[in-house]
Amino acid sequence: MADLDLAKLRMEYARNTLDEADVAAEPVQQFDRWFKEAVAAQLREPYAMTLATADTDGQPSLRIMLMRDYSERGVSFFTNYLSRKGRELTENPQASLLFFWAELERQVRISGKVSKLGAEESSAYFAQRPAASRIGAWVSEQSQVIANREVLVEREARFKHEFGDAAPRPDHWGGFCVSLEEVEFWQGRASRL
């Protein structure tokens, strides 16, 4: 255990305020405003978010994902449907997302129902990915134990040989959208008010 006094690491938040009169009428509009401010502030990966899922027994699981779209319908991201998160989202289609922009002393929490994006939308996004990332979707059996790194290297070589730079979207890969059932905006304030 480190000999740190965690209470002394406390920071005071005083960068911004959040007043009801200044908040957009619709949550997606407020999110758009804050997200654009995070991008303008040149934060590293402002589209990174924590995705919380739960299995059918209620056991939660968290991981960092990258948002790929947001609109009135919700927040979208793409993944391997056979991964732990993919299975949990299919079996228990509820999720929460958390965006934390420490430099702006802000976070946004979103919870809602999860739906799969259609094959056409998933394929359109997949086609925009770099060739190495498209191959990676074939190589990586997410959430599965592998014997060693050589397994991945061999699979990568095999799929590169098979597809070249034109790997199609695998059936086990695509998008999900989390609806905006509950959206919470948090802005750090002096004395945590």
Q: Residue 162 CB: number of other CB atoms within 10 A?
A: 11
Which ranges constitute the DSSP H helices of 94-166?
119-128, 131-139, 149-163
Distance CA 128, CA 146 (A): 28
Please name the amino acid found at residue 30. Q
84 is catalytic: no
Distance CA 171, CA 150 (A): 24
Please name the amino acid found at residue 75. V
The residues assigned a catalytic role are 192
